């Protein structure tokens, strides 16, 4: 991953298991087809990231 | 100031999503207006409001849909196969989001996400079977380059 970052010039960000990504996708998209769906607030988004096991500064949205 | 029109904007949003789900061409103001029997100008305004709210992404200075998460408006390197249907997603998160969204709506979903390694270009497949996920190769990991606080600085790059 670091070799790729150096070669591509794209900074190292966050890497995590595909299982965590699936959890994130389920939490994020499960209700997208509901007529009552709305964009999450920052706090709600943070709660989703935490529930998917994604924590730390990388996952902090602006206030 | 952009003022949402909640009911109509939701109707337009869901019409956009339905077009993608049904495998129709990327929806436009004209096709959505025809489907909803609405004025094109009203639908265009709804597109603008949805874009301002980061619900869809339009190509600059147009009403052409680039993204309606989890769907991409154009072919991408994140192809999702569910049954006989093929979808294109904006990223691997959105690709799994296609499966999650349809499952959330009550559909039984087994899916294959086909993409490639950002480093070596080797094929990577993510399988969704019976609600569980696996990747081939098994060593695959997800990588997000852009921190969350900057995702919308350039959402297409993100």
Q: Is B84 helix (H, G, I), strand (E, B) or coil?
A: coil
Over residues A12-45, the pLDDT tens digits come to: 888 889 999 999 999 999 999 999 999 999 999 9
Q: Tell me whether residues B145 and A10 touch, CB distance under 8 A.
A: yes
> Which three-class secondary structure string do you get for B10-65?
HHHHHHHHHHHHCCCCCCCHHHHHHHHCCCHHHHHHHHHHHHHCCCCEECCCCCCE
Q: How is residue B42 written in tokens? A: 């009203």
Over residues B48-61, the pLDDT tens digits come to: 999 999 999 999 99
Average pLDDT over residues B34-49: 97
pLDDT at A35: 95
pLDDT at B119: 80
Rg (Cα) of chain A, in Å, rounded? 14
CA atoms within 13 A on the CB side of A35: 4
Q: Suggest the residue from A5, A12, A22, A58 to mutate for an interface test with chain B (most B CBs closer than 10 A).
A: A22
For B6-64, CATH gives 1.10.10
Please list the residue range(s) of chain B that carry CATH number 1.10.10. 6-64
Q: Rounded to the nearest 5 degrees, what angle is found at the Cα of B106, between the Cα atoms of A32 and B132?
A: 90
Q: Chain B: nearest CA to A51, how far in angstroms?
A: 15
**Whole-model pTM over 0.80:** yes
Which residues in chain A touch residue B126, judged by CB atoms under 8 angstroms apart? 18
Least confident of A10-19, B88-97, B129-138: A10-19
Q: How is residue B133 written in tokens? A: 């996920």
Query: Residue A63 pLDDT > 70, yes or no?
Result: no
Q: Which residue has the tokens 């080797």?
A: B122
Residue among B25, B65, B75, B24 nearest B44 (CA)? B65
Average pLDDT over residues B126-144: 91
ipTM: 0.89
């Amino acid at each position: 991953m670091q070799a790729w970052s150096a070669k591509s010039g794209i900074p190292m960000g966050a890497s995590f298991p595909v299982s965590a990504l699936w959890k994130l996708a389920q939490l994020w998209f499960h209700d997208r087809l509901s007529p009552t769906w709305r964009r999450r607030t920052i706090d709600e988004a943070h709660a989703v990231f935490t529930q998917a096991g994604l924590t730390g500064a990388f996952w902090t949205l602006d206030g | 100031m952009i003022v949402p029109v909640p009911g109509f904007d939701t109707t337009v949003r869901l019409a956009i999503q339905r077009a993608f789900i049904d495998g129709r061409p990327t929806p436009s103001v004209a096709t959505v207006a025809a489907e909803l029997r609405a004025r094109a100008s009203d639908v265009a305004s709804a597109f603008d409001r949805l874009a301002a709210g980061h619900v869809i992404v339009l190509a600059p200075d147009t009403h052409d849909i680039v993204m309606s998460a989890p769907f991409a408006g154009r072919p991408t390197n994140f192809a999702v196969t569910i049954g006989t249907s093929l979808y294109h997603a904006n990223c691997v998160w959105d690709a799994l989001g296609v499966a999650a969204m349809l499952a959330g709506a009550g559909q039984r979903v087994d899916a294959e996400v086909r993409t490639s390694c950002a480093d070596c270009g080797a094929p990577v497949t993510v399988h969704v079977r019976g609600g569980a996920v696996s990747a081939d190769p098994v060593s695959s990991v997800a990588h997000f380059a852009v921190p969350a606080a900057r995702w919308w600085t350039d959402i297409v790059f993100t």
